[in-house]
Structure 1
Amino acid sequence: MSVSVRIPTILRTYTGGDSEVSASGATLAEVLDDLDTQFAGIKGRIIDEDGKLRRFVNVYVGNDDVRFQQDLATPTPDGTEISVIPAVAGGS
């Protein structure tokens, strides 16, 4: 299953500057594995050492935050758009 993955600016060094790439997999975990095969090291910026999404990275499958779905087991149907979004902190 082919999906499109929107890559944030901070991770585009892994994708040669591409803001959107194609990947395949039936679940988010499989898509991230495919991304790492294509763009070595990118998965380590999204997944921590315990195999969980990094605390300050949000991932959406379609319009749904995967943390409120099935996390890494969230299905990624053919044609789905996945967005990787670094959390932004700030304030005064």
Structure 2
Amino acid sequence: MILDYEQKLLGYLDSLIDSADDDELFAAGYLSGHITLSISYCEEHNMVTTDAVNERVYWSLVEAKKELTPRDHELVIELWNSAKQSVLADVL
């Protein structure tokens, strides 16, 4: 189930490539890495719900805040919220 969720999240980010500006492309690439690492963590710890993935991605982004400028962090969080809402809307 979470692998399907990962594919849909990454597919959403990939769909932005044609219309995204440089900041959005950066945010999408950065977020893709956090999604992939979070999915791996969840699989390893037998956390198999979308809620678990969402929480893990969120905390991963919070922990990484110091790596980014405030504006870049804001862009990544906004994109995460958009991706999550879009994918979950398709699932429900």
Same fold (TM over 0.5): no
Greater helix proportion = 2
Q: When the two structures are superposed, what TM-score results if normalisation uses the length of structure 2?
A: 0.30
Q: When the two structures are superposed, what TM-score results if normalisation uses the length of structure 1?
A: 0.30
